[in-house]
């Protein structure tokens, strides 16, 4: 079966075509800057590459471009659209209603729309992508895979906030967590690499990128995670503040900041960018720090310190930890940052082998020292494959 996966953002559409169950990639591509005159598209297949630049006024135009590339007679991956057996979609927020992947129908679309206010930047384009895909592909089965679903196993003691109960019962304010498909994928892959059953391992998974989160996994199930109602809570990120005293918001409000400016400040102007006053990219900051930029060095130290704090907290939550996993762009490729995070944790049984660490750049494998009680893994994530697997399982 050929399974097509879509990941739709506010101005971009990522897609990947898999042959299942072999899990081989037949095509992958990206349409970006949808709604702009300088929109572009890219697709790679075994037959070659397609690169296009043209104005795309809306999502229908973006999907039409994807259709054209997939059906390209020379470098496409399909002869007719009906070769696709099923389609999977990433949906960021499923609220409390969706605890797993679901077949898409009109009722499910309404359910995704019902939680727009919980993910106003993500769920609307996710739903638009689903609607365009259903229009284009007709009766081909389609599946929604929710980023929050893996975290539905978190107990109430971890997901409730200490605010009046009515805010939970009436407004559904609670910890939901994100990056669920990534955390689940690398947890299952790590169990496989350790030769263990997926529900017999305790893990701490660190998804580190421009958006970052840490998850505590007990016996294969998420029991706590650093992101909360929104992706703003938790770690210092590229442009997001992560954890901070809520009183800061009231203080800034009294200083004249309105809700929109506070939202922009904490989501787009904070984190590594705000601390360094120069960049949200760890690679840039490491170069600047090496050249003597003290603000860049401090930003990196704070980023690493916050991750170390969460790892320590989750060691306490789990009591017994089989492995710590690094994934995401920084987690997979940032050997220097991994070393910075894990330094001076030997009393917890976490000891890095620096040579192994430096040799695992984007490569799966173990990087702990021989006397480390807890294993340390680098595991490249593959959210598209996780979606394809769920979609295939539900439609084959």
State which H helix or E strand residue 43 sits in.
strand 40-45
Does 8 share its domain with 100? yes
Does 208 share its domain with 297? yes
Does 270 share its domain with 369? yes
Does 130 share its domain with 220? no
Give the pLDDT of residue 67.
94
What residues act catalytically? 147
Number of structural domains (the chain) is: 2
Does 245 share its domain with 124? no
Does 330 share its domain with 210? yes
In order of 45, 196, 379, 386, the CA distances from 188 in angstroms are 28, 9, 10, 10
CATH code at position 210:
3.30.420.40
Q: What are phi and psi of 111, to 5 degrees?
A: -65, -40
Does 297 share its domain with 356? yes
Q: pLDDT tens digits for the chain (396 residues)?
A: 999 999 998 788 999 999 999 999 999 999 998 888 888 999 999 989 999 998 888 889 999 999 999 999 999 999 999 999 999 999 999 999 898 999 999 999 999 999 888 888 789 999 999 999 999 999 999 999 999 999 999 999 999 999 999 999 999 999 999 999 999 999 999 999 999 999 999 999 999 999 999 999 999 999 999 999 999 999 999 999 999 999 999 999 999 999 999 999 999 999 999 999 999 999 999 999 999 999 999 999 999 999 999 999 999 999 999 999 999 999 999 999 999 999 999 999 999 999 999 999 999 999 999 999 999 999 999 999 999 999 999 999
Q: What burial letters (b/e) apply to 324-358, b meaning 16+ CB within 10 Å?
A: bbbbbbbbbbbbbbbebbbeebeebebbbbeebbe
Give the pLDDT of residue 121.
77
Does 41 share its domain with 110? yes
Domain termination residue (choose one: 83, 118, 146) = 146
Residue 188 lies in a domain: no
Model pTM?
Answer: 0.93
Give the pLDDT of residue 10.
78
Residue 154 lies in a domain: no
Predicted confidence (pLDDT) per residue in 263-281, tens digit: 999 999 999 999 999 999 9
- In which residue are the tokens 């840490």 written? 214
Does 107 share its domain with 222? no
Residue 321 lies in a domain: yes
Residue 228 lies in a domain: yes
User: Shortest CA distance to 129 belongs to which of 84, 89, 98, 92?
Assistant: 89
Does 283 share its domain with 362? yes
Residue 92 lies in a domain: yes
User: Shortest CA distance to 333 belongs to which of 208, 235, 234?
Assistant: 208
Does 118 share its domain with 211? no
Residue 385 lies in a domain: no
Does 87 share its domain with 210? no
What is the Rg, in whole angstroms, of the alpha carbon atoms belonging to the chain?
21
- Provide CB contacts within 8 A for 336, sequence distance 6+: 286
Residue 287 lies in a domain: yes
Structural domain harbouring 38: 2-146
Domain termination residue (choose one: 108, 123, 146) = 146
Residue 155 lies in a domain: no
Give the pLDDT of residue 57.
87
Domain termination residue (choose one: 146, 161, 180) = 146
């Amino acid at each position: 079966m050929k399974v097509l996966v879509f990941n739709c953002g506010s101005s971009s559409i990522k897609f990947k075509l898999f042959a299942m169950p072999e899990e081989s990639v037949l095509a992958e591509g990206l349409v970006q800057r949808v709604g702009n005159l300088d929109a572009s598209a890219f697709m790679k297949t075994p037959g070659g590459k397609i690169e296009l630049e043209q104005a795309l006024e809306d999502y229908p135009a973006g999907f039409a471009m994807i259709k054209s590339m997939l059906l390209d007679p020379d470098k496409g991956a399909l002869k007719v659209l009906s070769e696709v057996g099923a389609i999977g979609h990433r949906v960021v927020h499923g609220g409390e209603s969706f605890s797993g992947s679901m077949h898409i129908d009109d009722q499910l679309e309404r359910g995704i729309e019902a939680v727009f206010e919980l993910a106003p930047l993500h769920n609307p384009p996710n739903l638009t992508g689903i609607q365009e895909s259903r229009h284009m592909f007709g009766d081909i089965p389609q599946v929604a895979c929710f980023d929050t679903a893996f975290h539905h196993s978190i107990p109430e003691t971890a997901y409730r906030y200490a605010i009046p109960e009515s805010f939970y019962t009436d407004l559904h304010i609670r910890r939901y967590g994100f990056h669920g498909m990534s955390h689940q994928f690398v947890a299952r892959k790590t169990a496989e690499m350790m030769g263990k059953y997926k529900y017999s391992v305790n893990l701490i998974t660190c998804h580190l990128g421009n958006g970052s989160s840490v998850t505590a996994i007990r016996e294969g199930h998420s029991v706590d995670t650093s992101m909360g109602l929104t992706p703003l809570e938790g770690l210092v990120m590229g442009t997001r503040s992560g954890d901070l005293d809520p009183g800061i918001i009231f203080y800034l409000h009294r200083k004249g900041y309105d809700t929109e400016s506070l939202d922009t400040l904490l989501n787009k102007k904070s984190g590594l960018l705000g601390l360094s006053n120069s960049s949200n990219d760890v690679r840039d900051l490491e170069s600047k720090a090496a050249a003597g930029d003290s603000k860049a060095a401090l930003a990196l130290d704070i980023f690493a310190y916050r991750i170390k704090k969460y790892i320590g907290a989750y060691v306490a939550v789990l009591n017994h930890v089989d492995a710590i996993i690094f994934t995401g762009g920084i987690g997979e490729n940032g050997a220097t940052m991994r070393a910075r995070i894990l330094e001076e944790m030997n009393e917890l049984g976490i000891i890095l082998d620096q040579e192994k660490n430096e040799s695992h750049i984007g490569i799966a494998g173990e990087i702990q020292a021989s006397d480390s009680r807890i294993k340390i893994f680098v595991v490249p994530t593959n959210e598209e494959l996780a979606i394809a697997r769920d979609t295939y399982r539900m439609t084959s």
